[in-house]
Amino acid sequence: MSTNDFLETLCNTHSISGNEFNLKEIIISTFKNYTDNIFTDDLGNIIALKKGYNNEKNIKVMLAAHMDEIGLIVKYIEENGFIRFTSIGGIDPRTILGQEVIVHGKKDLFGVIGSKPPHLQEKDEIDKAIKMEDMIIDVGLNKEQLVNLVNIGDVISIKRNFKVLQGNRVTARALDDKAGVATIYECIKELSKLYHECDVYFVATVQEEVGLRGAFTSTYRINPDIGIAIDVGFGSTPELSKAETLDMGKGPGITIGGNIHPGLREKLVNVAKEYNIPFQYEVTPGPTGTDGRAIQITREGIPTLCLSIPLRYMHTSVEVVDTLDIKNTAKLLAFFVSSITNENLEGLLCY
């Protein structure tokens, strides 16, 4: 399967935090041809192992990207059949009004998110953003019909399919961080062409959007020598500061900050320069807000890196990435992993 086709399949399959199981067979069946072992842990993380050659010191490198996405959850069913809901993960209510949704009950139900029409709003309401608690989902059923199909706690996804834009750009919901999972897949394929001594663990983590939970447990189990989080960063748009964004199509952002091991970061930059792989810097003084944070503070501490794929309109249903950035991120990861050897690891990890 091509990486673009894999990304489209991921994005068109809902995997709201805590409900990532829909992706299990898709990811396992895609990864298994390139790895030596693959399994799912007790929390739902998918862990694939590609063994190295002559790995005398049992070096372990972990690459992690989260497969969960933000979404909604049924909170209450009104007497008239309208559904009250709240969010799973960070959703800006301004982006969801008027959206089409799928309520994942006993069967999938199409619905729309509505609220009081502007014509009927009070003067003090007109200039204010509508709160999520003032929105409802209408699936066209009364309560008697609806309660047979929908329960409190059922998840709801925004109905938005993967689309190709001009050039190398694509748009979908949940490219945060299914673009990262696709990058791992591309990396696996690249790495199959290269000699590498270390064992590589490719992890599709769960529940990142609600607390980095999958990264904590999978890192604890693997206990890697090096952990690398692959996530997304803020893609540049005219209204955003250049200092706080990444340009689309110009390679991944290599994170600099307290979450990141300086020696490994320097090695990563040198590998990018050696192989003419475009990259950018992403300055994050504190915790990155990615799986990298969880990886770094697991057990006695894991030397950590973070790579960010530029992404526009984060946490909306129309996120945009450039597939060239996915390819270059994967290529950089593959060459970096192949550069880690039994001889140089100890020196790289020294402060």
Domains identified in the chain, total number: 2
Residues 146 and 125 both lie in one domain:
yes
Q: Are 41 and 47 in contact (CB under 8 A)?
A: yes
Q: Are 170 and 29 in contact (CB under 8 A)?
A: no
Q: Which two tokens stand for residue 182?
A: 């696709």
Encode pLDDT of 260-299 as tens digits: 999 999 999 999 999 999 999 999 988 889 999 999 999 9
Which of 158, 192, 210 is at the close of a domain? 158
Residues 242 and 333 both lie in one domain:
yes
Residues 187 and 43 both lie in one domain:
yes
Burial class (CB in 10 A: 0-12, 13-18, 19+), 68: buried
Whether 328 is covered by a domain: the verdict is yes
Helix (H), strand (E) at residue 4: helix 3-11
**Binding annotation:** 66, 176, 209, 231, 315
Q: CA–CA separation, 55 vs 79, rounded Å? A: 64
Residues 63 and 116 both lie in one domain:
no
Query: Parallel, antiparallel, or unpaired for β 46-50 and 155-158?
Result: unpaired
Residues 315 and 204 both lie in one domain:
yes
Residue type at 42 in one-letter notation: D
Please report where in the chains the tokens 């009104």 appear, as a residue.
Answer: 78
**Gap between the terminal Cα atoms of the chain:** 41
**Binding annotation for Zn(2+):** 66, 176, 209, 231, 315
Whether 166 is covered by a domain: the verdict is no
Whether 163 is covered by a domain: the verdict is no
pLDDT at 241: 87
Per the annotation, the verdict on 208 as an active-site residue is yes
Whether 293 is covered by a domain: the verdict is yes
Residues 194 and 256 both lie in one domain:
yes
Q: CA–CA separation, 287 vs 185, rounded Å? A: 26
Residues 223 and 343 both lie in one domain:
yes
What's the domain range around 93? 71-158
Residues 89 and 135 both lie in one domain:
yes
Whether 165 is covered by a domain: the verdict is no
Residues 246 and 97 both lie in one domain:
no
- Count CB-CB contacts under 10 A for residue 252: 31
- Among the options 69, 208, 282, 319, which is catalytic? 208
pLDDT at 239: 87
Q: CA–CA separation, 339 vs 226, rounded Å? A: 13
Which of 107, 129, 158 is at the close of a domain? 158
CATH number at residue 92: 2.40.30.40
* Cα–Cα distances in angstroms (integers) from residue 296 to residues 136, 169, 258, 290, in the given order: 40, 32, 10, 11
Supply the DSSP symbol for 250: S
Which positions of the chain have pLDDT values less than 70? 116-127
Residues 179 and 98 both lie in one domain:
no
Burial class (CB in 10 A: 0-12, 13-18, 19+), 147: middle
> Has this prediction a pTM greater than 0.85?
yes
CATH number at residue 232: 3.40.630.10
Residues 23 and 44 both lie in one domain:
yes
Beta-strand runs (E) in 173-225: 199-205
Q: Are 235 and 248 in contact (CB under 8 A)?
A: yes
Supply the DSSP symbol for 211: T
Residues 106 and 201 both lie in one domain:
no
